[in-house]
Structure 1
Amino acid sequence: MLHKNVFFLGMLLLALTGCSQKNEEQATQKNTAMKETTPAPTRTKNILFFGNSLTAGYGLSPAEAFPALIQQKIDSLGLPYKAINAGLSGETTAGGKSRIDWLLRQQVDIFVLELGANDGLRGIHPEESSKNLQAIVDKVKTKYPEAKLMMLGMEVPPNMGDAYASQFRVIFREVATKNNMTLVPFLLEGVAGIRSLNQGDGIHPTAAGQKILAENVWQELKGML
C-alpha cells in the first residue's frame, strides 16, 4: 500500500509541475504578445517657427500670434506636435543667421523660416538676404538632416521700387526650390494693405490678421504633419 501511495504522490507531483510549467509558458507567451502589439509611446515632435515680429505677434498676446493659433489646430486634431514660437521683433536674415545655432539645441522636426521682411524695409540687397537665408537652412539641415522645411515668402511695399520688389520676391522661391522646402509664396496674403487687418503702423497684423496668417501657413503645413 505504501508503494502505491508513493507512486500516486509522485504522479500527482509530476502533473502539478507540468501544469505549472505550462502556465508559466502561456503567461510568457501572453506577455510577449502584449509587448509586440502594444504601440510604443509617440514622441511629441517640435515645429520651430523662426522669424521676426510677424511670427512673434508684435503688439498682441502670444496666444494671438499665428504659431499659437496653429497649435490650436494641431491640438484639435490630436496630433503629437508642439509649435515653438521663435519670433524676434526687428530680426533680419543676418541676425537670424547668428541666432539660429542657439535654437538648434532643441530637437527640430519641422522648421518654418519667416525672415526677410526687415531686410526689405531696410533696402538690403536681395542677394545678401538670399545668402543669409541659405546659411540658416544649411545649419538646420546639418544639425537635423531629417527635418522637414518650410519657407514663408515675403514682399516689399511698392514704394521700394519695382526693380527691387521683383528681385526681392524671387529669393524666397529660389531658396525654397534649392532646398526642397514647402513654400508659402506670401505670408501676408489677404492681410497686407488692408487697414482693418493691420495695427496702427500699417505693417503688423491685428489679431484678426494673424488668424489669416495662420490659415495661409496651415494650408501648406497640414500636409507635412
Structure 2
Amino acid sequence: MTLIVFAGLFAACSNNSKSDKIVDNDSAKNGKAEVTTPIKTILFFGTSLTAGYGLEPTEAYPAVIQQKIDAEKLPYKVINGGLSGETSAAGKARIDWLLKQKIDVFVLELGSNDGLRGLPVLETAKNLQSIIDKVKAKYPDVKIVIAGMQMPPSMGAKYTSDFKNIFPQLAEKNNAALIPFLLDKVGGVAKLNQADGIHPTAEGDKILADNVWVVLKPLL
C-alpha cells in the first residue's frame, strides 16, 4: 500500500467531500438514486463432465455458460461444483457443503458414473431425489434444471432404457426443467471427444453449453 503524507491525505479528503456534495446535489435534482441489481447464483453440480476434465477451467461448459450470461448482461454468476468420479451417493453427501451459499438456480448433472458402474437404477434415482430434496428444503424458491444422461448399448437394453428414464421422471416429479441429453451431438463423435472417448474436447464443451443454454436461458 502506498504511504500518503498528511497534507496529501487532507487534500484528498477535502476533494472527496466536494465530490460527495456534487453527487448528492445531482441525486436531489434528478429525484432518484442509483439502483444496483443483486447478483444471483447458478450452481452446476455434477461429474467430470461439469468439472471440465482435461480442459482449461475457462473451457468447461459452465464457464462457457458464464460467457453467454455476461454477453446478455444478465445478473448471474456461475459456480462450477463438478467433481471427477462423483457418483450420486457421493453427491448426496457433498451437497450440504455447497448449499452454505445462496443458490438461485441448481443444475444437476449426476448419474453417469453410476451407470458406467452398473449400479441399480432405483438407487441412483433415490440418491438424485435426495439431493433435490436437500436443495429445495434449503432454498424453496430455487429453480432446478436436470441434465439427462444415457448409457451405451453395451450396458444392455433394459438397463439403458431404465437409466435414460430416470431424468425425465425426476424432472416431472420436481417441476424441473430438463436437458434431454447433455451430450447430444457430442457423445460418440470422435473429433469432439478426448482420447478416452468419454470426455468432450473444448469444442465439444461449447456444444454442451449450447445444449444447456437453450433450457437454462428462459429461466434467468
TM-score, length of structure 2 as denominator length: 0.86
Q: Choose the corresponding residue for 2:80, options 85, 90, 96.
A: 85
What's the CA shift for 1:143? Answer: 0.4
Question: Which residue of structure 2 lines up, in the alignment, with residue 104 of structure 1?
Answer: 99
State the Cα deviation string for residues 22-67 of structure 1 (Å, max 9, x = none). xxxxx9xx84983xx4463211000000000000000001100000
Matched, 1:150 2:145: yes
Q: Choose the corresponding residue for 1:60, options 55, 78, 93.
A: 55
Unaligned runs of 5+ in 2: 1-23
Matched, 1:200 2:199: no
Question: Which residue of structure 1 lines up, in the alignment, with residue 15 of structure 2?
Answer: none
Mapped partners of 1:215, 1:113: distance in 2: 16
Question: Which residue of structure 2 lines up, in the alignment, with residue 17 of structure 1?
Answer: none
Mapped partners of 1:167, 1:32: distance in 2: 66
1:105 is paired with a residue whose SS is coil
Mapped partners of 2:166, 2:141: distance in 1: 24
Q: What is the number of equivalent residue pairs in this alignment?
A: 196
Residue identity opposite 1:69 in structure 2: V
Q: Choose the corresponding residue for 2:218, options 192, 206, 223.
A: 223
Mapped partners of 2:163, 2:119: distance in 1: 9
Mapped partners of 1:116, 1:32: distance in 2: 58
Question: Which residue of structure 1 lines up, in the alignment, with residue 20 of structure 2?
Answer: none
Mapped partners of 1:209, 1:200: distance in 2: 13
Q: Once superposed, which parts of structure 1, at least 4 consecutive aligned residues long, lie more than 3 Å away?
A: 30-33, 37-40
TM-score, length of structure 1 as denominator length: 0.84
1:177 is paired with a residue whose SS is helix
Question: Which residue of structure 2 lines up, in the alignment, with residue 170 of structure 1?
Answer: 165
Q: Percent identical across equivalent pairs?
A: 61
What's the CA shift for 1:77? Answer: 1.0
Q: Choose the corresponding residue for 2:183, options 178, 185, 188.
A: 188
Unaligned runs of 5+ in 1: 1-26
RMSD: 1.6
Higher alpha-carbon Rg: 1
Residue identity opposite 1:129 in structure 2: T
State the Cα deviation string for residues 61-94 of structure 1 (Å, max 9, x = none). 1100000000000001111100100000000000
Mapped partners of 2:34, 2:69: distance in 1: 21
What's the CA shift for 1:193? Answer: 0.5
Mapped partners of 1:175, 1:118: distance in 2: 18
Q: Choose the corresponding residue for 2:128, options 133, 146, 149.
A: 133
